[in-house]
Structure 1
């Protein structure tokens, strides 16, 4: 059933929808602040036994007379007279890189968690006056110490806070203003989705450093980063603007490093604490392949136009990452509030300097001013649908557990902007940072784009497309667009073809002409980013898109140690009842054809052995929904879709970390497990599904100290992290 409110809806219908929104907001507020639990809401009749919002007049958007969705479950987001394509799209805000982390950071980073005590604020839940707790929220002890910290000591420090929104007075786009639509980086950028829209005030948004635009970290292989993330959110859990939880856990989405740096959903930390994440930025297989660093393709750029060889498998080179909150049961709310950023990783292959011809550099569009990491023609795009209330403040409604959809398209947290380009090739690193919405992109004139990357990886070969595939939540598509085919003063638009009626799946992929017609009831269909061709390039375009990029690792010689099946679907039951680690919701995961279980981060569902290769089958348990499934830590290769290798399209034939199973579909993948250990996750990246209990824990260890099997579960508190034995270890896990 479509739940879109018609554009011709009466004033009475809009008033009733606003009433339903306010009523649901009160329930959401109480739930987000820990005043009630989902179990209590079921007992009171607010939720059904399956975890859905009860069909109650004046509360549920699914009661026809409540008119509560557009498709947000709330009335239309007011526009205050703002028109599409009337403001510039800001480039990402690049976080500063500091050399010598051991001198720059106070206190200096340590291999184990820094358990120096501090007096706690009594506003924190469960804290009494005079209580103390550690300054670092990382769990203590050898299991959560940074693995190989001495082997890969951090060489660069990057610092960020999590804060309520405020104006940005230190914006660093890392390019001259002519490459950033003339935006003056010295002027204060308000925390708003458009200059004509209200500033986000109080705790409406929680972003990195409390500012917009989104943040970007720049790193390169062989240069470990220490990312210090400090939680400066309000002490009082009720001060959240109506949704979101003030405890956070930062997941560097698909970083190849130990679990202590992965942002495990149960390793969250509190306001007043920091967490030091150690990102070694190494090639997978560095312990067993090319250990002498003799392969010229396994290399990182230096500062003088050359390169330095590094150990590991060059076929595992990665490029486009992102990082975001992974707080248990609150990921969707916290990411939606602004806890999302991107991370560009540079290598000798993907150097970020298109002019260097050394036989290894692929010379993708970027620029030539610096030896590596040029951004002039290498542009990060964060796509996300948003909604705001009658006061223009960010709004969220979780009570359709199928998924939340906003009614306003943003790019880099800006409503339908324009971006100025030169007549030459550009690379765009496109991230779907939505909560539940899928995108399908095309150019308004139907001209071709070249897809060069999928998720964190460059493809084995580029793929020329006039329409990209549906892009699931958390997937990254790297594309190249050649604007030399357009005249100066020409315009072309990125268009979304994927029409939603609810958060479960794409209802229909429209033809380009349909999407451009303005007839769709989905307000996020159609044009959403305007490219303005403003000049010829001042310098020649040295970039290229080579026919061969990064071939896949050859796993054929590695025996398959185990096959596992994970089915994602509805009707989950909860077999554990720990108030901290277990979740309740309609969604769940079935392991090896056993019961469909709701999430519990204390439950171990799989435990592959270090140094082995496995084949995992990811199955969609129904045809009425779609799930983008993310497996942490190790990347995989898709062997088949729905039982056929021929159904794997060219743009999915590289390495991936998010696997969209499609309604009723099955994906069979292969992975090898190596280099690092600890507890990791597998979950749906429709984060509403994840929070409502479609997540499981798997773990990897080397069978020796400091690791144990199974690993003890961390239980964070402001006074310090304690550990418990796992609540359950599935029979099929080991």
Structure 2
């Protein structure tokens, strides 16, 4: 590869770059041989890049809980990258000025406080996808970080080992922010489990972040800003590089695959270059961690936001080129000239390290599947109505009615998800919980073999499909989102909320309640000199968060929930299946006093506070009363931003 063609990442201070997402109309469709973007003539000519590794700035140890908290700081900022070697430079916005953002390697049992600082001219919100974060740290879409502000996100890192990812979740502009670079990987590992399984590690454990984009003739990205259906993209990226190659040794590798595209679903196969016969591989893990056993397959569906982990054995292919291919006609997605290719492996002839290169164990994990349950508790239809994407006819902008479910904390429910259209698919993401896919009818009409032994947080609701998922709504109470993860659909307005209701007589002595995702004290703050002082972080910020006892006793809380329902089995509330016609007006609530050993925190009453109208386009602006939030007048170019808050009610536990 000639050095002049090497992709370089030049971080340039660009000030406020509202021009970079200027809208250019995009074609609705094209033939399989056509390009939307300028033809990319460098397929498999550039090496696969790897994101930088995030490093903590300091750490704090709580001698009472025996838990460490690692502190990180991430800057959201514009930067430039040479994507097309023969065209102009591309303006992007990413975490620490890279795309993907830095990869977090976390150890189970060590909590994290990550300070995201917004040095761009648009609001952001951060969702750690796959984490059971408390509601104020989950990335509620309206809980945005204003330009020149920061927000501290407090994460548990105490679930089963898994591949998570973090990405933007700002209301109405998630697609734009994620597409231009605000996404990254977050890997949670369990050292004891890794030692037991003996899977490929270190340089043989590779993260692959898939995306699909469209470029203009000058090398700039075509923005999804005014797109209302889908932006499938015709330039396939892996780790930010179009169609890269990766040098591998003739041995086994572990690949952590994430689909971070905003609209494209992939159906992947692996073949010897120039041949058609698919090479079998093993699927070992999903969104929710390890499968119960390895599943051999020759194809993999991976929709937006899904993670699947693969074991591929290159031993028989020394000296050959192997290609990850994408099928044509996947769901309703548009195909273009080179969307059938993803990544090339160049297999060497020498193995430099034979450790962790043996056969896979017959059992990977004892997956904590929810207790089986018959029937359907709630049904949700994902549809397009009156030009809007809706769930049960309700758009997210309908503040008074967007809480479509109130599962009781600790209860197991079956949700039925329906897509009655053949025109598009919907990857459905439910925050907070892991679920089990228990049935699929219509469309593909079957659960995929690797889905059957997995816990998930995203399920591909294909064209004309109906899927049932089973989940325990725990460990926390509070208000969370669920939505389509085609980010164009999510932004316009296929997103709703559910309120995991409090148990009035639970009796477990929780130190702090985290119910309202818009509670004022957890909102963004000005990034001033005090916020930049690491000594204050060490002496005040980290001890305060540690004193909240937000996550340290999750095991005891889960045990207490199980015991609660064992002693009340005859009086368990039933859930209503009629959620689509709910007109319950959600009200503001009082958040409970935080009891800490080192910090006094007064009782915070959530009430109507200052709001201001944000300039918008194409989306109706609802000037509603908001609770627990101040929203500043923030210009968001051509994007509409609702001025409403979570609007929740936490007093009722009925469906």
**Structure-2-length-normalised TM-score:** 0.71
From 65, 71, 75, the equivalent of 1:157 is: 71
From 147, 161, 164, the equivalent of 1:318 is: 161
Q: CA 1:728 to 1:722, structure 2 compared with 1: closer, same or farther past 3 Å?
A: same
From 431, 444, 449, the equivalent of 2:271 is: 444
Matches within 5 A, 1:295-314: none
Matches within 5 A, 1:191-590: 191-193=81-83, 197-200=87-90, 204-234=91-121, 246-283=122-159, 317-348=160-191, 350-351=193-194, 356=195, 361-366=196-201, 375-445=202-272, 446-468=278-300, 470-487=301-318, 489-499=319-329, 505-506=332-333, 522-543=336-357, 544-556=359-371, 563-571=377-385, 585-590=387-392
Q: CA deviation at 1:551?
A: 3.0
Q: CA deviation at 1:717?
A: 1.8
Alignment length, in residue pairs?
508
What's the secondary structure of 2:377's corresponding residue?
strand
Contact 1:455 1:657 in 2 (8 A): yes
Which ranges in structure 2 are unaligned for 5 or more consecutive residues? 1-17, 273-277, 505-511, 517-585, 590-626, 635-641
Contact 2:502 2:653 in 1 (8 A): no
What's the secondary structure of 1:440's corresponding residue?
strand
Contact 1:587 1:598 in 2 (8 A): no
Where does structure 1 differ by over 6 angstroms across 4 or more consecutive aligned residues?
25-28, 559-562, 643-646, 719-723
Superposition CA RMSD, Å: 3.5
Partner residue in 2 for 1:667: 467
* Greater Cα shift, 393-402 or 377-386: 393-402
Matches within 5 A, 1:133-212: 155-166=69-80, 191-193=81-83, 197-200=87-90, 204-212=91-99
Q: CA 1:688 to 1:347, structure 2 compared with 1: closer, same or farther past 3 Å?
A: same
Q: CA deviation at 1:714?
A: 4.8
Q: Distance in 1 between matches of 2:242 and 2:19?
A: 27
- Kindly provide the CA deviation profile for residues 80-134 of structure 1, in whole angstroms up to 9, marking residues without a partner as x: x7421111111121111334259xxxxxxxxxxxxxxxxxxxxxxxxxxxxxxxx
Partner residue in 1 for 2:7: none
Q: Is 2:38 the partner of 1:78?
A: yes
Contact 1:631 1:683 in 2 (8 A): yes
What's the secondary structure of 1:485's corresponding residue?
helix
Q: CA deviation at 1:350?
A: 4.3
Partner residue in 2 for 1:641: 440
Q: CA deviation at 1:386?
A: 1.3
Q: CA 1:566 to 1:725, structure 2 compared with 1: closer, same or farther past 3 Å?
A: closer
Which ranges in structure 1 are unaligned for 5 or more consecutive residues? 1-24, 31-58, 62-66, 103-147, 167-190, 235-245, 284-316, 367-374, 508-520, 573-584
- Kindly provide the CA deviation profile for residues 704-725 of structure 1, in whole angstroms up to 9, marking residues without a partner as x: 6855885555544248999868
- Kindly provide the CA deviation profile for residues 144-166 of structure 1, in whole angstroms up to 9, marking residues without a partner as x: xxxx9985865211221110014
Q: Distance in 2 between matches of 1:199 and 1:163?
A: 16
Q: CA 1:599 to 1:620, structure 2 compared with 1: closer, same or farther past 3 Å?
A: farther
* Greater Cα shift, 624-633 or 456-465: 456-465
Q: CA 1:491 to 1:561, structure 2 compared with 1: closer, same or farther past 3 Å?
A: closer
What's the secondary structure of 1:376's corresponding residue?
helix
Q: Distance in 1 between matches of 2:63 and 2:248?
A: 43
Q: CA 1:663 to 1:526, structure 2 compared with 1: closer, same or farther past 3 Å?
A: closer
Contact 2:479 2:648 in 1 (8 A): no
Q: CA deviation at 1:616?
A: 0.8
Q: CA deviation at 1:212?
A: 3.8
Q: CA deviation at 1:407?
A: 1.4
